[in-house]
Structure 1
Amino acid sequence: MSVPLSILDLAPVLAGGSVRDALRDTLDLARHAEEFGYHRYWLAEHHLAPGVASSAPQVLIGAVAAATSRIRVGSGAVQVGHWTPLAVAEQFGTLDALYPGRIDLGLGRSGQARAELAARRAAPPPRPEARTVDGLLIPRPFDFGVLGTSAAFKTFSQLQQPGARTPDFAETVDAITALLAGTHHIEDGIPVRAFPGEGAELDLWILGSSGGESARVAGERGLPFAANYHVAPSNVLEAVEAYRAAFKPSDALGEPYVVVSADVVVAEDDATARRLAAPYALWVRSIRRTGAAIPFPTEADAAAHEWTDADLDLVADRTATRFTGAPETVVERLRTLQRVTGADELLVTTIVHDHAARVRSFELLARAWHGTGGTP
């Protein structure tokens, strides 16, 4: 039996388009996703990137939930290094009050990991060679030592108040959980209560890109875990294994539940899909060169770019693990990803320059996942 399919959306800004266009496209895609039968629709949190309009997923979640009626809507993920636990609890408590039973609160720690990333840039770890595990490509890890510029990293300081201290991720997750339960206390036993937030019926998730703290915290607290094959494909097996090894049953979950993400482009045939997917490498290059995504390029932009060997190496792990092709081609690769990782659900993301082609990609995948006319 096929596992559920869900969608991750970054609200991409297209070259020649605007933020307003991107947000309009997100609402349109969400309506279609519900029609096609996708299980949930998550919005990412990205900042300081002219090519991404999802800097405030809390706001977008409300807009998407208002534009739909059944599909679950959530964050993939709130970067808790940029928010206090109380703010997160109040924001998502408000969403739950407006759209009860439909809101997912996904938490990520990338906003807390800037110091770790700087250390990896200063002393990159060894990079093992690519390998294939039961048909799934596990590429050579990306070399974080070449990621972005010092100026780009400094701009991220603007996401916190001067002198603010980012707490430990586990502490943050525990504080949000306690606020939602109405049991949070600070020093001297002083209670802190979130209104809205307390008693909210949210599904709490942890997202992670490695077998490190995010996977461990999700497992130890008995929460569902989403592993990022589309962002960090070299670490996906390590991440899901660490989560399962750490898992302890909780009131929320009796056994591990794993979602794995994948970047896909589906079209009527392989050649069309490859053409639509061509600008992706140039877009990934912009993220890794400057730390900020450019507006998603056109096919002409991609064709005009002259690639160096260094550029190709910069994007190799992402381009090699993007599932591109006709429906049967992509379904076969997704089934391999699901089988090898043991995923209970797959989270797919698609960015192309043509919005209609993007909607069509999700439609073709939905129909193929369970056969012609079926839904995911």
Structure 2
Amino acid sequence: MSHPSPDSSAVPLSVLDLSPIPSGSTPAQAVRNTVDLARRAEEAGYARYWLAEHHLATGVAGISPALLIQLVAAATERIRVGAGAVQLGHRTPLSVVEEFGLLDALFPGRIDLGLGRSGFRKPGAAGAAPPPPPKPRQVADRWTPEGLLIPAPFDISSLIGSPLLTRYIQLVQFPGADLPEYRDQVDQIQALIRGDYRTPEGLEAHALPGEGADLQLWILGSSAGASAQAAGALGLPFGANYHVSPAAVLEAVEAYRKAFVPSDVLDRPHVLVSADVVVAEDDATARHLASPYGLWVHSIRSGRGAIPFPTPEEAAAHEWTDVERGLVDDRIRTQFTGSPQTVAAKLRVLQQATGADELLVTTITHDHQDRVRSLTLLADEWHH
């Protein structure tokens, strides 16, 4: 299906930060690095700075988007700051609106509220997505006409029931928690912000701070499922996830556009697409800096949780098996690494293939200054 594609040279670039903890470092230093990187991103001309939410990972300090947003917004002046994304699998709409209403009160007109389903809803529970209908499964890589790699889908069945997932559900959700449908949660958040929320019994409820907050609401998703459908039906902007789920990015964007209904927020679909990038002065240096990425992704996909990000030397010492490589192959081959010119060209392909209105880049290297340099080099190339 064709869709209007904005001029790639006019597409804004933004940053997603997981607040990674390098091997040998500490969570406190990771948070300081996040604040510094945000300042540099603002200086370089990035449009947004989003903070992720992850739990039970020894290598990621980004556990509370709201807390990190407060730190980043206080340390910057103009850049929009937001969540990419708040996980609704273990939060109530009221808690989200109150937190982000407070942030808007402190930093009016600068806060983005990105909402995610969270991939850890118990199968079969209320709020869990229904199983997708059977369809032929892509078993080989393919390339779009623009030249974007769409790898064969990663099979997540090995992670279902993993010890990490079990611990996660036990620790972030109350026993027997009855999760609402995702769309209902988003509806409640919007109603609380508008100030017209009613309980099922017809009673009013008001979130202060939160009611009337000038928040930009986003729905983020990794598939053509509940998130893309909700974003489209509600006429909200949608963030599609190429950096984690590259196989599904085109389906997610197309499902969103197909479901889109104009709203008071948007009169046409608005899509942001993420990518994992590492930029250096030349291709070889960038590949060296990015070399630990596979080992880090493997720690996540093997069910252990993200490890502290290794050095290139630590990564080089790892002896890979074929099974291990199979767990990370799609992510490694869809990471954009290279010189500013190389990565900018790959991002333009991603933008053209998806028709993205905005692009979101995330960068992880062991050395913080290499991350700073990566974002700075890319911004200089993109904007000039």
Q: Which bracket does the TM-score occupy, shorter chain normalised?
A: over 0.9
Question: Residue in 1 aligned with 2:310?
Answer: 297
Find the partner of 1:141 among 135, 150, 153.
153
TM-score normalised according to structure 2 size: 0.93
Question: Residue in 1 aligned with 2:351?
Answer: 338
Please tell me the residue identity of whatever aligns with 2:77: S
- Write out aligned runs for 1:205-224 (5 A): 205-224=218-237
In 2: Cα distance, 1:272 partner to 1:150 partner: 36
Task: Tell whether 2:159 aligns with 1:151.
Answer: no
Contact 2:129 2:226 in 1 (8 A): no
Shift of 1:139: 0.4
1 or 2, which has the higher helix percentage?
A: 1
Question: Residue in 1 aligned with 2:335?
Answer: 322
Deviations 1:273-295 (A, max 9, x none): 00000000000000011241000
Contact 1:136 1:340 in 2 (8 A): yes
Contact 1:80 1:112 in 2 (8 A): no
In 2: Cα distance, 1:48 partner to 1:247 partner: 35
Contact 1:124 1:143 in 2 (8 A): no
Find the partner of 2:365 among 352, 355, 368.
352
Contact 1:80 1:111 in 2 (8 A): no
Shift of 1:115: 2.0
Find the partner of 1:182 among 195, 210, 216.
195
Question: Residue in 2 aligned with 1:24?
Answer: 32
Question: Residue in 2 aligned with 1:258?
Answer: 271
Contact 1:112 1:166 in 2 (8 A): no
Shift of 1:125: 8.3
Shift of 1:147: 2.5
In 1: Cα distance, 2:239 partner to 2:14 partner: 12
Deviations 1:139-192 (A, max 9, x none): 011011223762111111210122211110000000000000001111210111
Question: Residue in 1 aligned with 2:99?
Answer: 91
Question: Residue in 2 aligned with 1:129?
Answer: 140
Find the partner of 1:107 among 103, 115, 125.
115
TM-align CA RMSD: 1.7
Q: SS of the counterpart of 2:343?
A: helix
Task: Tell whether 2:174 aligns with 1:161.
Answer: yes
Shift of 1:248: 0.5
- Write out aligned runs for 1:201-280 (5 A): 201-280=214-293
In 2: Cα distance, 1:119 partner to 1:51 partner: 32
Contact 2:159 2:165 in 1 (8 A): no
Long gaps (5+) in structure 2: 1-8
Q: SS of the counterpart of 1:62?
A: helix
Question: Residue in 2 aligned with 1:15?
Answer: 23
Long gaps (5+) in structure 1: 372-376
**Percent sequence identity over matched residues?**
61
Please tell me the residue identity of whatever aligns with 1:240: V
Q: How many residues align?
A: 369
Please tell me the residue identity of whatever aligns with 1:270: D
Question: Residue in 1 aligned with 2:6?
Answer: none
In 2: Cα distance, 1:61 partner to 1:155 partner: 27
In 2: Cα distance, 1:148 partner to 1:12 partner: 24
TM-score normalised according to structure 1 size: 0.95
Contact 2:13 2:47 in 1 (8 A): yes
In 1: Cα distance, 2:235 partner to 2:214 partner: 16
Find the partner of 1:56 among 57, 64, 80.
64
Question: Residue in 2 aligned with 1:196?
Answer: 209
Deviations 1:280-338 (A, max 9, x none): 00000000112410000111111000001111110011000000000100010000000
Please tell me the residue identity of whatever aligns with 1:133: T
Contact 1:2 1:369 in 2 (8 A): no
Please tell me the residue identity of whatever aligns with 2:350: L
